[in-house]
Structure 1
Amino acid sequence: MKKRYQVFISSTYEDLRLERQAAVEAILKAGHIPAGMELFTAGDESQMKVIRRWIDESDIFMLILGARYGSIEPTSGKSYVELELDYAIETNTPFFAVIMTDEGREAKVKEHGTSVLEGKNEEAYRVFRDRVKTYLSAFFSTASEVKLAVFETLPQIVDGRDLNGWVSAADIQTPSDVASELARVAHENSKLRAELEEFRERANSQSGSNPQFEELFATLKNTKATIPAKLTGSPNDVELNLLELALHFGEYLARSVTNAYGTDAIESFVFYRIASPLAAFGLVEHGKSPINAKWQRLKLSKEGTRFMAKAKIRVEQNRSQPASKPAPTPPSKEPDAKPKSSAKKKKAAKRTPKKQ
């Protein structure tokens, strides 16, 4: 079922007309739905409520930041553009930003004059721009580069997220279609469970009989790996082994991970610190990516899937086995018992006369 995602475009208006139009065209060409507030003027509280409702109904929030901070909302002292971004973050709406470069600002000034620059709130603009740069961002000098940023960034945001989106009524399944699909899935799940049980029994019976598996299992277990503290939220780095990390992040590896621009810190860690080393053992392979893409996709190979399943069973077996008890230590004898006995025997031997 193909989904179309609604993208809310936030920006100042008069100075970024061309850039907004470029974003709208790119979103439409990508097959999605642009949403903006061109029909509303900043400064009306009821209109701010409408904007919030539009953001609630949108799947993705896009910020185009030019050289102006924008109109100020009197109560908060913030610009309406910053308030829109705050609301997107507050509601956990996925978002990205495109930020005008210094070259872009200079070109704007040459063409339109200094009216495109922030005049009254330069410090607030600078602080806001620095803040936006800490999020998923791209930079543009021309309207065409805004289009490029949309084409590159939207797939990254959509991939791996369960967004609501919009679907055509023709694509919606009827109750009978749903019932048939549920029956098919139930049958398939039953078959898969039977195959999994058979595989487990076969793995249990063959445990330890595959030298290649044993060698690879031991190699990954002895390969140290560190999770940075910033990923775990703990004060210190966490040291594990490559096998533990591969099993822990197995879902990422099965789904595939990329090193595309804007990839979050966890996926980048899995790509470079787990998937890449596993590729050396043939457990991970390159997945499909767009033609001329400047990034790579890695996923579990068939051999990697088999190894991970067997390794998981082995680890569970090791956990379920009770620890072996140490052999009891025999009681020690008195240190002077033997010498005394020996001394008595020697004295007795001296008193016994030899037979002639």
Structure 2
Amino acid sequence: MNKKLQVFVSSTYTDLIEERQAAVEAILDAGHIPAGMELFKAGNESQLKTIYRWIDESDVYMLILGGRYGSIETKSEKSYTQLEYEYALSKNIPVFSVVLSQSFLTNKINSLGLSNTMEQVAPDKYQTFKSLVMSKIIREVDDCKDIKLAVHSTLNEFMRDYTLTGWVRNNNENDTLQLLKDNNSLIKENNSLNKEIQKLQEQLSAKSKEQFGNYSFDELLDILQNKYFSFPEKFFVNNTDAIINALIIFKTYYKNFCTGVPTSFFDQEEQEFLYLNICPYFLSFKLLKQEALPNNKQRYIIDTLGTDFYAELETNGYIEE
């Protein structure tokens, strides 16, 4: 994108005609748009407001400071050049200043004379203004060539370091129309995707609220996580009792529940412990059911609710691979 910056050039007038022309040429040569006080005649408040409006509409403010203070505005008792400079600062517009060096001013005195080059009416005001300018980042120049170099390098820095609006030429109205169509298409696609996301979120929310008996998945999960059983030490290698919550027990012994935990004539003490102490608890939530076996025996085995609950645990990442 070939962006052009509007650069407001401010300076005193009759003493800096060549210097301002050099700045304008450099701005144009860099592909940007100059604007400046030569479009106006300093002298009344309405014209000052017009200048302020031009500064507002510019991307960059450039000051060329020579040896003159310039015409003074009666209300503020400041020069129009200083008012422009202070206004640009107050609006946070990127500002850069080129200041004529002493050798540059000496050469101008030789060609224009002292009175046309250096401030004679308000030297104190000039020095105060110059001190303000010098307190900021400035480029001191020895000739018009230096001004052109300063303009090129500074505008390149501003293009890199600032997000400036600038001007962009519209070469093809059809391009704009196509952009509008593409943008409208993207908006429709985005709306469609948002609806799909909302639908999936609603499905996920409904899934998490799915009833497992009298409880939702989240409610049953919380209950099992907060119910603890003490397992005898003989079931563990380190011979210490283990306090385990019901959710871990359900996940750990799920395969046992799938094949069934039968009644007496227990061939394992652990199986007996499960049958007498654990299975009745899961039966109360209908995660397990009782089945009759031959010879008046019974077993606890996983129920449909139990398999659904285990599947939901897998879906939600509670089952480790």
CA distance in 1, matches of 2:75, 2:32: 35
Report the counterpart of residue 176 of structure 2 in structure 1.
Answer: 174
Amino acid at match of 2:42: A
Superposed displacement of residue 138, structure 1: 0.2
Amino acid at match of 2:182: S
Report the counterpart of residue 30 of structure 2 in structure 1.
Answer: 30
Matches within 5 A, 1:199-348: none
Does residue 1:71 correspond to 2:105, yes or no? no
Scaled by the length of structure 1, the TM-score of the pair is 0.50
Report the counterpart of residue 15 of structure 1 in structure 2.
Answer: 15
Equivalent residues, number: 188
CA distance in 2, matches of 1:54, 1:171: 28
CA distance in 2, matches of 1:47, 1:137: 28
Does residue 1:41 correspond to 2:41, yes or no? yes
CA distance in 1, matches of 2:138, 2:147: 11
CA distance in 1, matches of 2:133, 2:172: 38
Report the counterpart of residue 6 of structure 1 in structure 2.
Answer: 6
CA distance in 2, matches of 1:121, 1:19: 22
Superposed displacement of residue 39, structure 1: 3.3
Stretches of structure 1 lacking an aligned partner (at least 5 in a row): 191-356
Amino acid at match of 2:27: I
CA distance in 1, matches of 2:64, 2:184: 44
Matches within 5 A, 1:55-204: 55-115=55-115, 116-170=117-171, 173-180=175-182
Greater fraction of residues in strand: 2
Query: 1:159 is paired with a residue of what secondary structure?
Result: helix
Superposed displacement of residue 175, structure 1: 4.0
Superposed displacement of residue 59, structure 1: 0.7
After superposition, what is the alpha-carbon deviation per residue over 1:286-306, rounded to whole angstroms, capped at 9, x for unaligned? xxxxxxxxxxxxxxxxxxxxx
Query: 1:174 is paired with a residue of what secondary structure?
Result: helix
CA distance in 2, matches of 1:50, 1:105: 31
Scaled by the length of structure 2, the TM-score of the pair is 0.55
Q: Residues 181 and 108 (structure 1 numbering): CA distance in 2 closer, same or farther, change over 3 Å?
A: same
| Structure with larger Rg | 2
Query: 1:162 is paired with a residue of what secondary structure?
Result: coil
Amino acid at match of 1:101: S
Query: 1:41 is paired with a residue of what secondary structure?
Result: coil
Superposed displacement of residue 102, structure 1: 0.7
Report the counterpart of residue 210 of structure 1 in structure 2.
Answer: none
Report the RMSD for the aligned CA atoms in angstroms: 2.1
Superposed displacement of residue 182, structure 1: 8.2
Superposed displacement of residue 96, structure 1: 0.3
CA distance in 1, matches of 2:43, 2:157: 34
Query: 2:38 is paired with a residue of what secondary structure?
Result: coil
Superposed displacement of residue 41, structure 1: 1.9
Amino acid at match of 1:68: R
Q: Residues 39 and 184 (structure 1 numbering): CA distance in 2 closer, same or farther, change over 3 Å?
A: closer
Superposed displacement of residue 177, structure 1: 2.4
Q: Residues 53 and 184 (structure 1 numbering): CA distance in 2 closer, same or farther, change over 3 Å?
A: same
